[in-house]
Amino acid sequence: MAKTNPGRFFEDYRLGETIVHAVPRTVSGGERALYHALYPARHALASSDEFARACGLGAAPMDDLITFHTVFGKTVPDISLNAVANLGYAEGHFRVPVAAGDTLRSESEVIGLKQNSNGKSGVVYVRTTGRNQRDEVVLDYVRWVMVRKGDLDAPAPETVVPELAAVVPASELVVPTGLNFSGYDFALAGEPHRWGDYEIGEQIDHVDGVTIEEAEHMLATRLWQNTAKVHFDATFRPDGQRLIYGGHVISMARALSFNGLANAQMIVGLNAGAHANPCFAGDTVKAWSEVLDKAETSAPGVGAIRLRLVATKGGDPFRLKGEDGKYLPEVLLDLDYWALMPL
């Protein structure tokens, strides 16, 4: 057993250390096709080379969430194998689109540590950076997780909680080089609604729903080389259920949001995210969005829109938290992100 990876415990992290994650991964049209099979993804920029070229890109980029999942998946064996909970995301920047043929790798810097008062676990804050084969940063983001202690007698580290931006400022958003929406084809994209048609505070029920199967979420989670046992092994949890990777719900909700947000083409910022309740096979996932903010960019015809994306497994849309301030039991995901949209 000595040669297998037991995962890190809370006391194994050192503030400031950098962890190089295995395993680099080359993505291709195969990953793109699987993404379209796993999720009802229809955003035109990631679907069509021709549409992407008409928008100034060389070819259709991989869906931004392929980038996210690939970068994230590599961190699991080092960051969250012994995690009790995935607590949050912040300061996510999608910096360079990923193309077929690119090879991605990840590393994480430990930027905060805080032992819990019970002495049995602690919170680890990491900034994860994904790079392509040209050493360009394709994505970086902060994530914090609660991790068990392996040795309860290990001394508590100095508490350092990083100051994190509540929202990625619009000025920090990176518009892909060459992106130009001035000749954007709304008919091919699927909806006529442009940046100016959305109002801050507006809510959109995306209407469609997808009932999730075990085979699907496992195919997806393996594809991103996420190794957490709880997603794959029906004998692991006492209730015999496999917990669905939170990222599967993110992608499902994002894809469902096409219906009403077809022109929110690229994710460029990840402001915050909470996996409010667990998702299991048999749940029917639906989604709704709320416009949180809007901003201009310097790219021709390109605006930025800040959206709350909520995934649910039942219940009415637009309901998020109860009177106690806690997420309602049917809420699966509360994600806050920036996307690019034609003006």
Residues 85-114 that bind a second copy (CB under 8 A): 100-101, 103, 105
Q: Is 218 in the site for a second copy (CB under 8 A)?
A: yes
Q: Is 193 in the site for a second copy (CB under 8 A)?
A: yes
Tell which one of 56, 61, 77, 92 touches a second copy (CB under 8 A): 77
Q: Is 76 in the site for a second copy (CB under 8 A)?
A: no
The three-state secondary structure class of 216 is: helix
Q: 137-148 and 121-131: which strand pairing? A: antiparallel
Tell me whether residue 114 or residue 313 sits nearer to a second copy (CB atom).
313
* Residue 228 CB coordination number (10 Å): 20
Burial class of 138 by CB neighbour count within 10 A (0 to 12, 13 to 18, 19+): buried
Q: How far is the CB of 2 from a second copy (least distance, A)?
A: 9
Q: Segment 111-150, which members bind a second copy (CB under 8 A)?
A: 133
* Residue 164 CB coordination number (10 Å): 17
Q: Is 210 in the site for a second copy (CB under 8 A)?
A: yes
Residues 6+ apart with CB under 8 A from 17: 109, 110
Report CA-CA distances (Å) from 146 to 112, 114, 115, 171, 296. Answer: 12, 9, 9, 31, 37
Tell me whether residue 25 or residue 127 sits nearer to a second copy (CB atom).
25
Q: Is 275 in the site for a second copy (CB under 8 A)?
A: no
Tell me whether residue 228 or residue 272 sits nearer to a second copy (CB atom).
228
Tell me whether residue 39 or residue 68 sits nearer to a second copy (CB atom).
39
Q: What is the DSSP letter of 39?
A: S
Q: Is 18 in the site for a second copy (CB under 8 A)?
A: no
Q: Segment 221-240, which members bind a second copy (CB under 8 A)?
A: 222-223, 225, 227, 229, 232-236
Q: How far is the CB of 271 from a second copy (least distance, A)?
A: 22
d(CA 115, CA 106): 26
